[in-house]
Structure 1
Amino acid sequence: MRTRVVRVDPDRPDPAVLAEAGAAIREGQLVAFPTETVYGLGADALDERAVRRIFEAKGRPADNPLIVHVATREDVLRLAHPDPQGRWESLARRFWPGPLTLILPSRPVVSPAVTAGLSTVAVRMPAHRVALGLIEAAGRPIAAPSANRSGRPSPSTARHVIEDLAGRIEWILDGGPTGVGVESTVLDLTGDRPVVLRPGGLSLEQLQETLGDVALHRHEIDPGEVPRSPGLKYRHYAPEAPVVVLEGTPRAVAEAIRRRLAEIGPSGTTPLGLFVSDETLSLLDGQGVLPAPGVRVKRAGARHDLEGIARRLFGALRELDRARPALILAEAVDERGIGIAVNNRLKKAAAGRVERCVEPP
């Protein structure tokens, strides 16, 4: 299959290009497109055959539900029943368009392939002119997971989509790098207490300001259970190389890396990838630990710049992986704001391999 890659201005996308891509959606084709979070792989959410093609292209398990992207709040009511408390409306007024996905009771019009057979549907309105223009041009709600091979780091550029899906889908709309860098926050509104199933681009603190009491789901589901949200059941966001997450202060993390490098030895025969903060890199440089043979470094940024770290995360993991390291060490960030989502993605990529680093004496 030939994949057509079309460059679009993220601020002023060409209406003719959007019209053609929208027609492709109506015809059952797959179109990758930018959102403010990551690139999505879109199909007509009301066309079961087209939706199943998403799973085939990605190699995605069929019990992993999809998010439906809409262009208006009225579209939500065609797909879902509102929660009795009316919480979805106050959230939509404040945070849409934006990186927030809401889980609501589904209406029969939504394909079971989208919901993985659940009685709920996940919906959101993306804050990106290309994404909204495509939905409007298609005249359909668009089901769209991230536009990558299942399990791989999510795509924050069109290049990442091409790496994973060229030859498997019909269209890629290249709108440049995404702004947030991690996926949307998924909030379940089907119970009495709202629950964040997947932390993302909208922080827990922002949700609590609007709703008050909001829980954060922190546990894996049972292997036989159908997940209510993407990102709950399977290994996600992972490069080919194994990943270990390092938790601790910059001094503690730098010491853990120094010990690892001492184990490797001067030959550098065991390549190592590092995704660490500026503060940790400064300590390693000051100790004469870096640069070192066989070590590839991607700068995460300053520890306080959680938004910047989130933007760089998936691209850094992909770039480190191209060097085929034997191991990638990634530094955890503070558990606040979007940092909760960054740590969630890192620990998913590491399949739970976390090292708690101790301050040197």
Structure 2
Amino acid sequence: MSDLPRVCVVGYGVAGKLHHRLLEAAGLRVCTVDPALTGVPGGFYRHRPVEHSATVRDTAGPVHLWSLCTPTQVHVDVLAEVLKRDPRARVIMEKPACRAQDVPRLLDLLERHPGARVVVMNQYRHAHALRLLDDLRRHHMPDQPVTAVRVAFSKDRRADMEAGRFVDRDHGVFGYEWPHMLAVASRLLPPDTYRDYVESPVEDVRGVVHEDYFVTAARERAVVADGVELELYSSVVGDAPDDTGVPDWARPFGHSTGGRRRLAQLQVGPALFTAEMDPVALPDGGRLPGNTHRLTAQLPGGCQETLVNDSPMDNALRTAVARLLGDLPLPPVDLRPVHRINALADQFRHARETATAAAAGQLSGGPV
């Protein structure tokens, strides 16, 4: 047992608990770091107690791999602590890797620690359901081009935010599900098309701004190579008000546990191919079993449904562990999603700053 790699999960919130459960279920030894943790948490595998520490520095014994599941704004701080302890550390970082303003520091850390190995989690790049969705499209409409790619990921986070759980005031809605939606888009668009989109200026984005939580719902539209329409939609407050609006194509699909709705759709000529990602809602208010995804092909001759059992998170974690513990070169950390969500949030920061300045001018009686 002591010969198994030892993984330390930093941050024991929702993401940290999930990483811990999956890593332990994979047979790895797991410890945790979280200053807020009290008592002795139970492990997933046989519910063994889990060793935990208040800080990275205080973690006893060897650590072969680190999994960073802290809030985005402290990712680089925690990575710096890990690399101070072990300049050759092997590290998994949850998405997004960091804030745009932290990118120079992240790159400096990586440059000063060439022996370190870092992978950013990208679970929907490992979703077999998305590969099968594209296979369905190729099978049924092999000679027809894709004319639209649509992605909608929402979750009702109002109770969490009101209870004081992490609120991304740097990016708003763009810091929660948007990185996952970009990963989905990168799977469904050709690589060159996705690169051109993610590196291009923002064309059209509409959203709802909350005075405390920043952007709570947004919808982006773009026309990419060959005239393909790309649409991304997300909300953290349930269905958004009418001025942003849930896209018509997403409305027929219900919300599941926690107000979640995770959809990807391809339009190909007269056909629609849709993936409903776990958790999938049922008409009676229930849901499909965990890690079950539903693929629907709406064809001129009728409708076909397929259920797929798959855990993108488990796939991504196991792949990351294998790559980090191996010796093959790793690609550079992909920071394009960080810059994209920052560019989207910028559209609303400017509007908020203008409104704040206008309000201040009105209150003071001075010019705006």
Is the structural similarity TM-score above 0.5?
no
TM-score with structure 2 setting the length = 0.26
Q: By percentage of residues, which structure has more strand? A: 2
Larger Rg: 2
**TM-score normalised according to structure 1 size:** 0.27
Q: Which has the higher contact order (CA 8 A, sep 6+)?
A: 1
